[in-house]
Amino acid sequence: MRKAKILTTGMYVPDYVVTNDLLAQAMDTSDEWITQRTGIKERRMIPDTYKMLQQLARAPDKEAYLQALYDTGMDGKIDADMSTADLALAATQGALQQANMTPQDLDLIIQTTVVPDYVFPGPACVLADKLGTTSTPTFSLNQGCAGFIYALSLADQYIKTGTYHTILVVGAEILSSIFLYNNRGRDMSVLFADGAGAAIVVPAADDEPSGILSHHLHTDGTLLRKLYAELFGTSTFPPLAKKKIDDDRIRPRMEGRAVFAQAVRRFREVIRECLEANKISIDEVDHFLFHQANVRILDAVADSLNIPASKVPVNIHKYGNTSAASVPILLHESLQEGRIKRGDLCLLAAFGTGFNWGASLLRW
């Protein structure tokens, strides 16, 4: 059976930097509060969200401004300047360029996204349109922050079975567009941001030591209401009933303490599972590439497993929580910075809505 490997990676984040201080001008929060509880100092957001936050910060009546925004759109328009597919395309182009490939070289496209451009078709189809591919099959996943791990495991299986040879895996998110930037929504709106990360997965040579070694995936659906969003879902009829909007049921919800406790627990469990399955110790792993949800989660997991801080790269202070884009962005940056060397053992792990969580082990 063939072994798969990640050939190249790419990432994209919008140019617009949103600091904690800007958020503090829009709602009752502070740089100190956000930094202490999350480790986030700034994040990247699409132009529309950045412009909205600047206008909100200057608005004398912030609630009236937000109401007008939802009633009439941004300056009278509702079409976004940048979509999730635009971010996915930019990250993909970076990965393709590194591989000296074109979109026509792809045998399969897998994209994982929480908030897509459309309800249907899926985001991978929209990316295929932007790439100009006309017969390449696509998969669209929505596994939250664990999406890239799930998508990578799917690509791995298709490579192993010989079904496909060159697979694009993309995690892309524009989360800044779905939150309320006021006191009701601040517990989530200060956390999440926008970005995309991509990887091209191909077969490893028979005598090549590098490659993907294993995946370990889990879901506990009984806890889904600890972190969820109804938005346009069919939990109501019609899905976008005015009463649903008036009752504030389209706003994403999170029970922070429950998410924190579950994340730490599940990270520990799946890391141990991955190590035991591959008969290796923590000391043998060179890099632990964790989903960047909250620096306190990362610290708690590392401390409980005695993982040295030097093995746990962190970029949440720059980008916030980019959900399914988080792990591939961290992987790409770690490669670009020269942190990951040929032959290094890397353990990727993520936890998110669903609750979905998982880990992947690979040798670079």
Distance CA 18, CA 22 (A): 6
What is the set of active-site residues? 145, 291, 321
The contacts of residue 72 (CB under 8 Å, 6+ apart) are: none
Q: Residue 332 burial (CB < 10 Å; 0-12/13-18/19+)? A: buried
Distance CA 201, CA 211 (A): 10
pLDDT grade for 75, boundaries at 50, 70 and 90: confident
Task: List residues bridging with 111 in a β-sheet.
Answer: 140, 170
| Range 210-233 average pLDDT | 95
Q: What is the pLDDT of residue 244?
A: 87
| Range 126-150 average pLDDT | 98
- Phi then psi for residue 221, to 5 deg, are -70, -15
Decide if pLDDT at 76 tops 90: no
Q: What is the pLDDT of residue 71?
A: 86
Domain-wise residue ranges, the chain: 211-363
Looking at this protein, which amino acid is placed at residue 112? Answer: T
Decide if pLDDT at 241 tops 90: no
Q: What is the pLDDT of residues 318-338, one digit of tens each?
A: 999 999 999 999 999 999 999
pLDDT grade for 35, boundaries at 50, 70 and 90: very high
Structure token pair of residue 93: 């182009």
Classified by CATH at the fold level, domain 211-363 comes out as Peroxisomal Thiolase; Chain A, domain 1 (3.40.47)
Decide if pLDDT at 246 tops 90: no
